[in-house]
Amino acid sequence: MSNETVSVKILDKDYQVACPADERVALVQSAQVLDERMRMIKSSGGVIGLERIAVMAALNLSHELLLAQQSGASVGANQASLDRMQSKIEAQLDQLSAK
């Protein structure tokens, strides 16, 4: 399966992310969720700086991921989906840290 480059926008910045073609929709949805979270954090005024906003969003999403895992959410398919989401969050944090 080949990768394709997908453009996503987070806090009005464009990012090019490579992903398998069959995961394009999930990547776009993940970016939208991350963008919404980062906008909420930014609008609260309590966190300043793109990197700090990204870290706070990642921590919040990771916390929700752990809660979902602990609550016994369908382990099979959901686990793979959660693992992909965590990988994408980590990749976005790596990109933000590199800037």
> pLDDT tens across 30-50, in order?
999 999 999 999 999 888 888
Q: Which CATH superfamily is domain 3-98 in?
A: Cell division protein ZapA protomer, N-terminal domain (3.30.160.880)
User: pLDDT-derived band of residue 4, with 50, 70 and 90 as boundaries?
Assistant: very high
Residue range 60-93, pLDDT digits in tens: 999 988 888 777 655 566 677 777 878 888 778 7
Q: Are 84 and 23 a contacting pair, CB within 8 Å?
A: yes
* Two tokens, residue 38: 């980062």
Q: Hunting for tokens 């009005």 — which residue is that?
A: 12
What local confidence, expressed as pLDDT, does residue 82 receive?
Answer: 76
Q: Are 56 and 47 in contact (CB under 8 A)?
A: yes
pTM of the model: 0.67
- Bridge partners of 63? none
Write down the pLDDT at residue 96: 76
Question: What digits encode the pLDDT tens for the residues 19-33?
Answer: 999 999 999 999 999
Residues 6+ apart with CB under 8 A from 53: 11, 38, 41, 42, 47
Distance of alpha carbon 50 from alpha carbon 26, whole angstroms: 23
d(CA 58, CA 40): 13
Measured between alpha carbons, how far is 30 from 23 in angstroms, rounded to an integer? 10
- Domain residue ranges of the chain, discontinuous segments joined by +: 3-98
